[in-house]
């Protein structure tokens, strides 16, 4: 993918817009099952490290704004703490995908990012004495399906945004 947050002009804005749009849809559509592993993997595949981390954090931020402003998430310390934990594990998933992508490709980067994301959340749940029944195979399979669909949607949205930005740039120079 040729789209990068580090490049100037319309491509950076188009990529950010695609992330925000898919993030908003995910925030309202799947709320607590937001596909952060998918966001992280696509960001890592398509961008240099700093831009990838920025895009991943922006997807998290959109989700948190929707959750607290529109879905009325509680503002107790536990909820706020899990919100921060989601950011940390999303960034871990981004780094994992970034390290795997050059060696094994986009799909492997996504799978590795998903594994890092869910594995880190599981460890955090155990460490805080939380309930681990959410990590039953059926639940993880559902989360994987949501993330895989978001991964495909983000790749498609990024490609479409890139094509639109490229066409607009060509018209501006014609």
pLDDT digits 0-9 by tens, 55-99: 899 889 988 998 899 989 999 999 999 999 999 999 999 999 999
Task: Give 144-171 pLDDT, tens digit per residue.
Answer: 999 999 999 888 887 887 788 788 778 8
Q: Is the pLDDT of residue 6 over 50?
A: no
Q: If you write DSSP's letter for every residue of the chain in order, what string do you get?
A: ----TTS-SHHHHHHHHHHHHHHHHHHHHTGGG--HHHHHHHHHHHS-HHHHHHHHHHHHHHHHHHHHHTS----SHHHHHHHHHHHHHHHHHHHHHHHHHHHH-HHHHHHHHHHHHHHHHHHHHHHTT---GGGSHHHHHHHHHHHHHHHHHHHHHHHHHHHHHHHHHHHHH-
pLDDT at 24 > cutoff 80 = no
Per-residue confidence (pLDDT) for residue 31, from 0 to 100: 62
Which pTM was predicted? 0.85
């Amino acid at each position: 993918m040729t789209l990068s947050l580090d490049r100037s002009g319309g491509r950076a804005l188009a990529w950010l817009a695609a992330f925000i749009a898919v993030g908003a849809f995910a925030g309202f559509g799947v709320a607590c099952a937001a596909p952060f592993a998918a966001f992280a993997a696509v960001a890592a595949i398509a961008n240099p490290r700093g831009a990838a981390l920025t895009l991943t954090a922006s997807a998290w931020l959109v989700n948190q704004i929707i959750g607290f402003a529109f879905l009325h998430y509680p503002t107790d310390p536990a909820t706020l703490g899990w919100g921060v934990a989601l950011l940390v594990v999303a960034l871990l998933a981004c780094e994992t995908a970034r390290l795997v992508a050059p060696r094994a490709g986009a799909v492997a980067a996504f799978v590795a990012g998903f594994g890092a994301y869910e594995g880190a959340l599981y460890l955090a749940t155990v460490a805080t004495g939380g309930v681990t029944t959410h990590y039953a195979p059926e639940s993880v399979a559902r989360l994987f399906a949501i993330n895989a669909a978001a991964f495909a949607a983000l790749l498609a949205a990024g490609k479409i945004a890139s094509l639109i930005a490229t066409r607009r740039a060509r018209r501006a120079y014609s």
